[in-house]
Amino acid sequence: MAAEATSWQKEQVSRAYVHALATQGGYTLCDWNVDKDGVDVTLRSRGLMVDIQLKCTQSPRTVRSGYSFDLDIETYDKLRDPERSAPGHLALLIVPPDIGRWVTHQSDSIVLACHGYWASLHGMGHAAGSSTTAIHLPEHQELTVKAMGTMFDAARRMTNSAGLGLN
């Protein structure tokens, strides 16, 4: 039977995954050491920012056409807040049940045996629950470099629409 990874191990492999993608995409990344605003990492690109809350699981809850993750209401409310200066996202990293399979060393590479999905929470409605709310992460929304580009497109739209009322 595989051992359950600790929360800090899940957090660190999530950060490594996002760091690798951000590096490949040419984005800079800020790791927040305090999760005060519901954000673990912020991506930057040419003045735009994207905030991401990272979650990791060894036993994902599958639903039709994707995954579901129960996010605490406090974090949900922070990420969906329309007053944010950067759109808030949830990223769910799925790792194998056996922590020994998370990283494979090969002669010319190191392979992370994990995959991630994302959901934009910016502007979402009030949660129905009182302690958690189920976030649907569609299987077509894999967390990739291309997905990060899509997140920045949303940040650009948000910034442009916010600036329309300025003089």
Domains and CATH numbers, the chain: 7-165 (3.40.1350.10)
Average pLDDT along the chain = 93
Both tokens of residue 110?
Answer: 């190191």
Please count the other Cβ atoms lying within 10 Å of the Cβ belonging to residue 120.
17
The whole-model pTM stands at 0.92
pLDDT digits (tens, 9 = 90+) for 33-48: 888 899 999 999 999 9
pLDDT digits (tens, 9 = 90+) for 52-73: 999 999 999 999 999 999 999 9
Q: One-letter amino acid identity for 125?
A: G
Assign 62 to helix, strand or coil. Answer: strand
How far is residue 57's CA from residue 42's CA, in Å, rounded to a whole number? 21
Question: Which H helix or E strand runs over 91?
Answer: strand 88-94
